[in-house]
Amino acid sequence: MANNRKPATLYDRQLHVNSFLKYVGDIQVSDVNRMMLEDFYAWARVKHSKGPNGGNAYLRNVKTMFLWGEEIEICASPVKKFPKMHETLPETKRFSDEELVLLLNRMTDIDFRDMLIFGLLTGLRPQELLY
């Protein structure tokens, strides 16, 4: 698995899957059931929640682990219907034209100002401007 994943993806998967393993204890894969996953998801939402989507990454990564295991024929996925995750879309704040003019007029760093204008004109996301 480590050979075909980015290090950050592998780390993220391992973090969440290890949390699941600690939560359920020493059991066989075939003993995992939907109720365990529901309970794990509820636990992750309470213990690892910083917003309305808390716990989703935990359940998503455990689901991915089971699907990978089935795909590469290590084991059959013990659960066919996973718990439904509660997704709350983030609110996006859009600047008005007046707010953008105020922002650009207050910028003293010309390079940063040019990068911001470039991003606005091309539709690049902030993380894309970093590269």
Summarize pLDDT for 69-113 with one digit per residue, the tens.
999 999 999 998 998 888 888 777 788 889 989 989 999 999 989
Residue 81 located in a structural domain: no
Range of the domain at 124: 97-129
Residues 33-47, mean pLDDT to the nearest whole number: 94
Q: Does residue 90 lie within any of the structural domains?
A: no
DSSP 13: H
Structural domain count, the chain: 2
Residue 108 lies in a domain: yes
How far, in Å, CA of 71 to CA of 122, rounded? 39
Please give the model's pTM, rounded to 2 decimal places: 0.64
Confidence of residue 33 (pLDDT cuts 50, 70, 90): very high
Q: Are residues 9 and 62 in the same domain?
A: yes
Of 13, 10, 19, whose CA–CA distance to 40 is shortest? Answer: 19
Does residue 59 share a domain with residue 114?
no
| Among the ranges given (15-19, 32-36, 92-96), the one the predictor scored with the smallest mean pLDDT | 92-96
Cβ(13)–Cβ(5) under 8 Å? yes
Residues 56 and 109 in one domain: no
